[in-house]
Each structure stands twice: as structure tokens, then as C-alpha cells.
Structure 1
Amino acid sequence: MSEFETAHTSFVRHHLARRSGERRGRLERGHLYAEKLFLEQVWWPLVGSFDHLHPEYEIQDWNRRSQFLDFAFLPASGGKIGIECDGFQSHVKDMDREKFSYALNRDSFLTGMGWKMLHFSFDDIQRRPEVCRMLLQLSLSPAMISSGLIGSKAQKPSASAERLSPFQKDVLKLAWQLNRPIRPRDVMERHDLSFRPARQLLQALVERNLLAPRASGRQIRGYEPIGRFPMHLFE
């Protein structure tokens, strides 16, 4: 039995032993092929453990009706992340207007209650797991990465990724999030840095051809990402 299979079996047994009634029944019925494949193809290679991860996690909607998330990640450092593995048949093709509206409203309600909701299609989990891993890592906070909750047994990063520090990765991510050129002040505010080290972080990304300076005359006004988003740096 592989390391993943051993850990997965213990993971499910651990949660079954602590549940009863419908919460136990939901785990027995709901944790199926798609959910296990997500853990095997996406979660395990990135995180390397199931600590703080809860399968078929019960939540309540605005009418206090019980619903179950495929997974909830509740790290000790704080935060609530809900993860759903969505199949096209059940979540799109067979969904009527009422169910469609409810699904959107439920996510909006959970967001208002402090949850971060992540959705992965079964097709991507099965055929493009590297995309799912990249998106999952982007969604998990840098604090979780630096604290060791992520990456303890992760796949060895590429040579390009090894050349980027956690600060550089976070600055690059921020540059892609902004709808304008990133400036040293943005980095200063995000990481509580003075001007010089903030500018050095940006210049290091320029040297790696990940950012390009945008100038007005002789003065650099900011930096913009080059090309497409570099997924391989976040695998």
C-alpha cells in the first residue's frame, strides 16, 4: 500500500470514529471517487498531510439548513477554507434554475461568514491536476506556507521555482492581482519593508524576466507582469 493510501485510510477512519448519525452517513456516502482523487492528485502532492482537513464538513445556510462541503480546511493559524469537487453532470447539466441560484447564494453567504470557497472541476482534477495544485497554493495564505502547513512532503519544485524566495513569489502573485503596475510602495505596505528592499524585490523579478519596468521619461513608475501567468513557479 502506498504512503498516500495508508494516510488516506487512516484519515477516513479517524473522522468516521468521531461521527454519528447523518454526519457519519454523509461521510460514508459522500466521500467517493472524485473526492479521493482530489486528495491523491492535488492535496497530497502539495501539502503532504491531512492535518486540519475535514471531509464532508457540515455547515448551515441562512435558513439553518444543514449542508456538507466536500472538504473544509481549518488550520490552527485561523481561517476557514471550503473546497468543492464539482462534476459537470451534477453541478451544471442536471441543475435547474432554483438549484443554480441556491448554489450561488450559498457561496455568497459562506463568504460573508468568513469562508473562502474554492471549486475544482472533476475534469481538471482528473486531467489537469497541476493546474488545480497551482490554484490551491495561490489560494492558501503565505503564512500557512511559511509555517510548514504546506509543502512538508510536497513534490520537489522546479529549478525556476527554487530560485524564487517566498517573498519573491508573493510579490509576483501580488503583481498579477493588481489592475495596475505594481510599485515599491505596494510591496512596502504588504511586507512592512523600507523602500530599498522593496525595490530590490521588484528588480530581482525583472532580472528573471517575470516583471517589466514601466517608465515615464527617465523615471520608473511601476512594474508589470510579462506574458502569461507562470504556473510552474507555483506548483
Structure 2
Amino acid sequence: MSDFEQAHQAFIDYHLSKRKGERKNRLERGHNHAEKLFIKNVWWKLKGHLDQLHPEFEVVDWRGWPYFADFVYSPKLWRILIEIKGFRTHVEEMDREKYSNELKREAFLYGMGYHIVSFSYDDVANRPDLCIFLLRTILARFETANANIKPIHFADKEIIRFAAFLARPVKPIEMARYFSIDHRTVIRHLQRLCKKGWLHPVIQEKGQRVTRYKLTKEGLESGLL
């Protein structure tokens, strides 16, 4: 048995041991040829390990209904949802309602913080080097950022996302109102993020008083959005 086959079997056995009921049944039924081929042709060649990769990962759609993604790569600070899509299932056999539901599900999952990446089965089978290149470019953004943000405070992600949403320097009072916390706590969070280089204080034109905080390039590239 090759190193990959041993690693893949251990990978599946481990996740089966952690599951019960439908989540376990889904892994036994759903992890088939296409999913294994993606691991062998793309993921294994790119990463050389299967750490933090979760097969047949259960999420919910906008209706609260369970849905099993092919894979989720889930470090502490971000989640990348990976789907392998066959032409027949996702094109030839898909009617208008299924197509609409798939788009709504992807939009909902994106709103829940998932970064959705889809590969066609044909590319995984016949053009794996291209898939590796594309996946490497995606992971590089997150993994480079991830290496620079440990440890992280629980509030950092939401503050950075709020500042990016406003697309302008943010006032402490806006943060206090949005998060329903007191002004002193907001200032403490903002000052900590300034020390990390993710926010920059904006000084009032007259005097030395800080009135706003601006999101920096480092904050945008922190991997928290």
C-alpha cells in the first residue's frame, strides 16, 4: 500500500471514529471516487498531508436544512469549503429549482464566513496541475496571514470586518453602539489592534486627540475578513 493510500485510509478511519448517526453514514456513502481523486491528484501533491481537512462536512443552508460539503479546510481563523462538481450532476441533471437553491446556499455560506472553492471533476481528473496552482494561490493568501496573527483576541475579527464594511475611518462611538459595549472597552480593543498594525489612529486636525481609526493594508490582509 502506498503512502497516500495509508494516509487516506487513516484519514477516513479517523473521521469515521469521530462521527455518529447520519454524519457517519454520509461519510461512508458520500466520500467516493471524485472526492478521493481530488485528495490524491490535488491536495496530497500540494500539501503532503491531510491535517485540518474535513470530508463530508455538515453545514446548514439558508433554510436551516443540513448540507454536506465535500471538504472544509478549517484552521482556527477561517474556513475554505471545497466542492468537486461533476458535469452531469451539476449541469445536465440540474433543473432550475436545484440551480437556484445551489446559488442561494453558496451565498448564505459565504455570508456565514465560508470561502467557497469549486473544481470540476474533469479538471481534477485531467488537469490536476492547474487545480494545484489555483488552490495554492487561494491558500497562500490565508496561510500567510494566518502565520502572523497568533494569538488573536475573539473580538478582532468582528472589529476588522466592521471597519472594512464602513470603508472609512471608524469612530469609537460607532463601535460601541454596534457591539453594544462601553466606550472604554472599545478603546482598549482599538488600541490593541493599532499595536498589531491593523488599525491606524487618525489625529484630529487641531490638537492630539484621536477621533477615528483607519483600517490599514495589514488589516485588510490579516485573513480576518
Q: Please classify the TM superposition score into its range, dividing by the shorter chain length.
A: 0.5 to 0.7
Deviation at 1:75? 1.1
Match of 1:99 in 2: 98
The AA in structure 2 aligned to 1:85 is I
Partners of 1:39 and 1:27 in 2: CA distance: 15
Aligned to 1:140, the other structure's residue is in SS state helix
Partner of 2:29: 29
Matching residue's letter, 2:87: F
Matched, 1:20 2:20: yes
In the other structure, the counterpart of 2:7 is: 7
Specify whether residues 65 and 147 from structure 1 end up closer, same or farther in structure 2 by C-alpha distance, changes over 3 A only: closer
When residues 146 and 59 of structure 1 are mapped into structure 2, their CA distance, relative to the original with a 3 A threshold, is closer
* Change in CA separation of 1:4 and 1:146 when aligned onto 2, cut-off 3 Å: farther
Alpha-carbon separation, structure 2, partners of 1:30 and 1:102: 20
Query: Are residues 1:60 and 2:45 paired?
Result: no
Which residues in structure 2 correspond to 1:158-169 (within 5 Å)?
A: none
For residue 116 of structure 1, report the CA deviation from its aligned partner: 0.2
Q: Hey, which bits of structure 1, 4+ residues long, moved more than 6 A?
A: none
1:40 aligns with 2:36: no
In structure 2, the partner of 1:84 is: 83
Q: Which amino acid aligns with 1:119?
A: S
Distance apart, 1:142 and its partner CA? 3.5
Q: 2: distance between equivalents of 1:102 and 1:143?
A: 28
Structure 1 unmatched runs, 5+:
149-188, 193-235
Of the two, which has the highest radius of gyration? Answer: 2
SS in 1 for 2:119: strand
Scaled by the length of structure 1, what TM-score is found?
0.61
Q: Which moved more, 1:121-130 or 1:133-142?
A: 133-142
The C-alpha deviation readout for 1:21-51, integer Å capped at 9, x for no partner, is: 1000000000000000000000011011111
CA-atom RMSD in angstroms: 1.7
The aligned amino acid for 2:40 is E
**2: CA distance between counterparts of 1:25 and 1:5?**
21
Residues 74-223 of structure 1: pairs in structure 2 closer than 5 A = 74-76=74-76, 78-144=77-143, 190=217
Unaligned runs of 5+ in 2: 148-215, 220-225
* Alpha-carbon distance between aligned partners in 2 of 1:88 and 1:16, rounded to the nearest angstrom: 29
In the TM superposition, what whole-angstrom CA distance separates every residue of 1:117-146 from its partner, at most 9, and x where no partner exists? 000000000000011001111111445258
Spell out, residue by residue over 1:199-232, the C-alpha distance to the aligned partner (whole angstroms, 9 max, x if none). xxxxxxxxxxxxxxxxxxxxxxxxxxxxxxxxxx
Q: Is the 8 A contact 2:62 2:104 kept in 1?
A: no
Mapped to 1, the partners of 2:79 and 2:20 lie a distance apart of 23
TM-score (norm 2): 0.64
